[in-house]
Chain A
Amino acid sequence: DVKVTQSSRYLVKRTGEKVFLECVQDMDHENMFWYRQDPGLGLRLIYFSYDVKMKEKGDIPEGYSVSREKKERFSLILESASTNQTSMYLCASSPDTAPNEKLFFGSGTQLSVL
């Protein structure tokens, strides 16, 4: 089975801190994604990556950056955390064998910025 692992289930940070959210997948998927989930808004795409060292902005990239140095790992970075970035963050991956395939999700990281 595909496994997408997010390093932390819960995280509490202070305003202004630099925050790293880590995601690792073990199925050699080319595509990786970061979404944030907020009540009433569903999931919104922050960034995605089709290959190592490649990244593309999603719908809400402001305040975030990403890093993909290795195929299996996709990191989301909050350069200076703010309270409006308190949210559930979900990582996902999918193979590049065919577009529009289903995504495999991690269990999420609930980030609280105080």
Chain B
Amino acid sequence: AQKVTQAQTEISVVEKEDVTLDCVYETRDTTYYLFWYKQPPSGELVFLIRRNSFDEQNEISGRYSWNFQKSTSSFNFTITASQVVDSAVYFCALSEAINGNKLVFGAGTILRVKS
């Protein structure tokens, strides 16, 4: 069965600090997809990234970067030079090719960035 673990319940940092959000997943499928979503106080989850299991290249998008390591079943998310607007709940999620659109989410990590 698929499972996503986000061990960090809450993280507090001061603006401009770098912060890494951890995500560990379990799946028996060889083809799967990993996602990160951001949920700001408004409540609507916002898609950040989707990565398939055959693409282990790290990705950078502005201040955001993702480190995908199949060897450790991890898909960690780093925010560089954090800003107050980054304060949100961040969810890691997994879908297996065999299950199509069924996403399984981790418990989420609350990120608080203080000015």
Residues on A close to B: CB < 8 A? Answer: 9, 31, 33, 35, 40-45, 48, 50, 58, 88, 90, 92, 94, 99-108
Question: Which B residues are CB-close (under 8 A) to A31?
Answer: 101
The interface stretch among B38-46, B56-64, B73-81 is: B38-46
Give 11 A-B contacts (CB < 8 Å), ordered by A residue: A9-B43, A33-B103, A35-B105, A42-B6, A42-B91, A45-B102, A90-B43, A99-B97, A100-B52, A100-B97, A104-B47
Bound: A62/B43 CA distance, A: 25
Q: Are B97 and A43 in contact (CB under 8 A)?
A: no
Interface residues on B, range: 20 to 34
- Contacts A106-B44, A108-B44 given: A94-B101 contact, CB under 8 Å? yes
Best-surrounded residue of B6, B43, B47 (most CB of chain A within 10 A): B43
A-B contacts counted at CB < 8 A amount to 63
Contacting A88 at CB < 8 Å: which of B43, B47, B50, B101?
B43
Interface residues in B87-115 (C-beta closer than 8 Å to A)? 91, 93, 95, 97, 100-108
CA distance A94 to B97 in the complex (A): 15
Q: Which of A41, A50, A90, A107 contacts B107 (CB 8 A)?
A: A41
Residues of B within 8 A of A88 (CB): 43
* Known A-B contacts A42-B107, A42-B108; A100 and B101 likewise in contact (beta carbons under 8 Å): yes
Determine which of A99, A101, A105 lies in contact with B45 in the assembled complex, contact meaning CB atoms within 8 Å.
A105
Looking at the complex, which one of B4, B45, B108 makes contact with A90 (CB distance below 8 Å)? Answer: B45
4 further contact pairs, Cβ within 8 A, besides A45-B102, A90-B45, A100-B52: A40-B9, A88-B43, A102-B50, A105-B37
